[in-house]
Structures are given as structure tokens and as C-alpha cells.
Amino acid sequence: MAKLKFLIKPPRFLFFTGKGGVGKTSLACATAITLADAGQQVLLVSTDPASNVGQVFGMTIGNKITAITAVPGLTALEIDPQAAAQVYRDRIVNPVRGVLPETVVKSIEEQLSGACTTEIAAFDEFTALLVDSALTGDYDHIIFDTAPTGHTIRLLQLSGAWSEYLEEGKGDASCLGPLAGLEKQRVQYKAAVDTLADSKRTRLILVARAQQATLREVARTQEELTAIGLSNQFLVINGLLPQSETARDDLAATIFQREQKTLAAMPEILKPLPRDHIALKPFNLVGLAALRQLLRDELSAADDSDTTHQAMAIPGLSGLIEDIARDGCGLIMLMGKGGVGKTTLAAAIAVNLAHRGLPVHLTTSDPAAHLSETLSGTMDNLAVDRIDPHVETERYRQRIMQTKGAHLDAQGRALLEEDLRSPCTEEIAVFQAFSRIIREAGKKFVVMDTAPTGHTLLLLDATGAYHREVVKQMDSHSIAHYTTPMMQLQNPRQTKILLVTLAETTPVLEASSLQDDLRRAGIEPWAWIVNNSIAATTVQSPLLCQRARNELADIETVSNIHAQRYAVVPLLKEEPIGVQRLLELSESSQQ
């Protein structure tokens, strides 16, 4: 077996990062086992909110260093970022309960409920593992399943005066608020950040799939981390379909060709990176035997040449669209993580409704949606446009810097500028652009891809202090339209939220977390869509047959636990480009 590039002369710290569902945890676990099998002392640390390291090893780990008894030399630790964030919030909020009005306390809690708080709290937890101490002195390698983002690292680099900035009332924005709870010495954070930037001590492994969306995301991560000095990066393309599976399965052959074409057209910024390809495996990556096979070239697929998986009888997309069409108008929002196919499904739903003679406005904020290419034509009753998130975000940033930032000193402006790089900023800016369109939904169908998280929506709500900061920049006419969309999203008679996911453990967990987030904002998702399902199609490739069977448990979890109603869209041989193919996709019914 040729040695994988990212495992050649590995430094002490290895970070695996990438979008949810690309296989970070499995690769981190497999790497830890490989190094421990080679006689090294290894600590595996997970900071993933959906961590399943314990499940992978078949044992309970939790927030304490635990020996993996079946692998001499390997120990593991699961930092629960949600629990860390809750402790963090309690430390800040509990002293003011009963002292400040309840509405103010809720506002503070909401400011501390976002992704930035979770990430900063997790970083606060594992900082001690990045500096020399008795806790980590005996380990040859420490492997992290997920790394902090460039945004969080930049915030920590601006460590001079967040507390002063907040105490003087200069800001209480989405990411600076969480920084107020940091208690450890800033010198320790500086040492941790220095470790991350030291290529002799730290290596970042960017994990992606051969999909345009995940490659774009990892390219953004690469650029962001390089800009702050984290340059020792390797790229791993995980889950590639082996060519050997294409012999007698047209779907497998199409997938293989599509993946190879995607790799050839990957973002230029990624091409110079040392790169490894990991083959798609037919089995669930749970247990030592499976993990030890993950990094090997040989494939242990079921080799029964007579194997065929027949498409399962599962509710299709047409049933959902039938229910939507009965209302005659309304707002349809597709939400979910990147790479699950929201844009294509939004286009398919819009085309179906327009085909019925209903007026439809289809819009997206996905910078790579290329709706015109997906539609590949025009049709009656359908208006299409795209909101450019970069333009909207820059316009928003400039307005805030020209108003609120005008009265700050240089350090205060630097903090405000960094806070405005938060993902929440883009969501707020785009949502404001969306709000101008939402009013149309009383007279026609408005189909939107994508949407803000529940956390951002709550920040926008009238009770939030952050909302009041934003309102200062708006005239009375804008404020009226600004608050109305939130109320419309909470009204199930006016808005239907469709959560899009894949039939895989991590994407389902992430969609479930998004649903909880929305419910906290008073918004109840209307339906789930499981996209690109192998179980919903007929395949003959032994590997795809096994993966189809693996999907059934995740589809059952969606249907029995998470969704009020759901649909499953099969993995298609041909990409759904053009009005006719989108119409065929939307008309898919029970198999």
C-alpha cells in the first residue's frame, strides 16, 4: 500500500477539518489507530458537535481522557462543545438573573447561543492541549477532529481589549459577546494560536468529497487559514467511487465520471496542495476492523455479482408539491447544510408549480447556484433572480462601519470589522435582501434557497439587543418591512420550511440541530427531504447495494423521529439540468 501523503512524517498536531458529512471523524479515528499501531502514543480529541467517536469505537468516552483498550497507545477525549457553551453561557448570564429585566436576560442568552459561542467555548476547552503541559507531555501525536475557523482565530489574535470594548458599551455583537466570558490568560491563547501556525508542529488536513459544493467550501477554508498563517495544509478527497464498480451498473459509471470531472475542475487554489484520494467503502465505519480498512487501497466490498438492490417504496417529492400547490401562494424556504442539493430541489419545486399555471418567483443566495444553467431555459409563470451575498454583505458592513464604527478608535474598529466577518453578518444582510421579496408571497409562490439559521432570526427579532443596533441604521419604512418577515416565517399558513438532508448520519444530525434551532425561534419546519438516496433507486454495483441498505436506518430516523412529513429523492443518473429534467424530478412519486 502506498503511504498516504498526509501520513508521511506527521507532526505532533494533526487537525481534520471540512463540511459535515465528508468523513472527518472516520479519517481522524483511522489516522489515530494507524499511528498507535506504529507504536506511537496518541491522543484523539473531538470537538465536533455531532461527535460519534465513542460510537465508532463502540465505547463511552465523553469529556475525560479515556484509553481505547483494544488499541494500545491510543486514548481519546470528546469535548462536548454544546455542554462547554452552556457552562460558558451560565457563567455570564447567571449573575444577572433576577437583577436585569427578563427581556434583557433573554437578549444576552440569544447573543450567546450562536455558532461563534460554541466554537469559542470549545477552543477555550482544548487550548490546554495545544501548549506544553503535564496533561499532554507523554503524547507523540494529538489528533483533533475539527479545527477552529479562521474567524475564531482572528478574534483571538485581536486579544488586546475585547473586555474594554464591551464594558464601555461599544458593542454587544454576535461574536464579541462570547469573548466576554473568557477567563484563561490571553498568553495561553497566543501560545495556542502560535502552535497552530507552526508548520513543524501542526498539519491541517482539509477533507472534502468530489462535489462542487464541498470543494468550494474547502477552498474558502484553505484561503482563510492561509491568510492567518496556517499554511501546512493537505487535501483529502474522501469517498471516491472505485472504477471497478462501474462494470455493469450505469448509475455507478455515471457517478464515477461525474466525480472525475469535478476533480479535474476543482478550484485552482486547491491544486498545489498535497492530495490523497480515499475510496468509498461499502460498510459503515464503525469498529476497529472497518477503521483499519478505511486508509487501505484494497476494497472489501461484497463481491456477489448477482446482487441487485431494488428501489424501495418511499414517499416521493410529488406528494409534498401537491400539498404545497393547494394553497395557491405562499413562501417556500429550503434550508440545510451546503452540498445537500437545496438549489436543485428549489428549482424543481418552482418549475413544477409554474407548470401548473401558478405564478412563481424563484430566488437564491447561493453564490454558485447558477440557476440559469440549472433551468437551461425559461418558462411561463416563473420569474428567477439571484441575491449576491457578497454584494449585500459588503453593503451592510460599510453601512455599519460608517455609522457605528465612525466613533470608535483604531482597535475598536478592528474588533468591529472582525465581528462583521461572522457568518451571522452574511445571513443578516442576505435576509434583509430576502425580506424585500417575501412580501410577494401573499399573492404568488416565492421559493427561496437558502435561509438564515434560527439563531440569526432570533438576533433579528425585535426583542434582541443586536436587532436594536441594526435598527439604528434603518429608517422607519425599512423597519416595518424588517420585522414583518420574521412574523411571516412563524406563521405556518404563510410559510413552509423544507429541511434538506442526505441519508447519512452526520447530515441527519445537522438537520435535526437546525430544526431545534428554528423551533427556538418559533418556526416549525413543514417537511424534510432526503436527497440523492441510493435506497430510492435500483442498483447492481455491490458497493452501492450495500450503501443503499445502510441508508435505510437514517431514512427511518427521519420518518419516525424528526419529520412531520417527508420525501425521498433518488440519486439520479443524469444531473437534473433543464426544465424538463427538473419537472421529471419534481414529479417523482412513490417508487
| 48 counts as catalytic | yes
Which of 18, 48, 343, 588 is an active site residue?
Answer: 48
DSSP 293-314: HHT-SS------TT--BPPP--
Cis-peptide into 450, omega within 30 deg? yes
Nearest partner of 342 among 485, 514, 549, 591, judged by Cα: 514
| 25 counts as catalytic | yes
Pairing state between β 330-335 and 66-67: unpaired
Which of 17, 18, 20, 21 is an active site residue?
Answer: 21
The rounded distance, in Å, linking the Cα atoms of 566 and 500 is 10
Report the number of secondary-structure helices (H) and strands (E) in the chain: 24, 15
Nearest partner of 408 among 425, 420, 394, 391, judged by Cα: 420
317-325 helix and 342-355 helix, angle to the nearest 10 degrees:
50
| 453 counts as catalytic | no
Which of 25, 75, 174, 365 is an active site residue?
Answer: 25
| 21 counts as catalytic | yes
Which of 19, 24, 337, 496 is an active site residue?
Answer: 24
Radius of gyration of the chain (CA): 24
Strand order in the sheet with 13-17: 66-67, 74-78, 42-46, 141-145, 13-17, 202-208, 233-240, 275-279
In the block, residue with C-alpha cell 465508532: 56
b/e string for 388-414 if b means 16 or more Cβ within 10 A? ebeebbeebbeebeeebbeebeeebbb
The rounded distance, in Å, linking the Cα atoms of 362 and 351 is 9
Supply 131's cell numbers: 501548549
Which helix (H) or strand (E) segment holds residue 506: the answer is helix 505-520
- Diameter of the chain measured on Cα atoms: 73
CA angle 574-558-490, nearest 5°?
100
CB 74 within 8 A of CB 33: yes
Amino acid at 268: E
In the block, residue with C-alpha cell 481519546: 76
Residue 14 vs residues 43, 67, 223, 248, 294: alpha-carbon distances, Å: 11, 19, 18, 40, 18
| 132 counts as catalytic | no
The rounded distance, in Å, linking the Cα atoms of 248 and 91 is 60
Supply 345's cell numbers: 430541489
Q: Which DSSP state fits 527?
A: E
Q: Residue 317's Cα: distance from chain center in Å?
A: 24
Q: Which DSSP state fits 562?
A: I
Which of 18, 20, 23, 171 is an active site residue?
Answer: 23
CB 178 within 8 A of CB 88: yes
Q: Residue 481's Cα: distance from chain center in Å?
A: 29
| 506 counts as catalytic | yes
The rounded distance, in Å, linking the Cα atoms of 476 and 174 is 24
Which of 26, 374, 435, 505 is an active site residue?
Answer: 26
Which of 66, 118, 149, 506 is an active site residue?
Answer: 506
| 26 counts as catalytic | yes
Which helix (H) or strand (E) segment holds residue 204: the answer is strand 202-208
Residue 449 vs residues 178, 345, 364, 461, 481: alpha-carbon distances, Å: 29, 9, 5, 21, 20
Which active-site residues does the annotation give? 21, 23-26, 48, 506
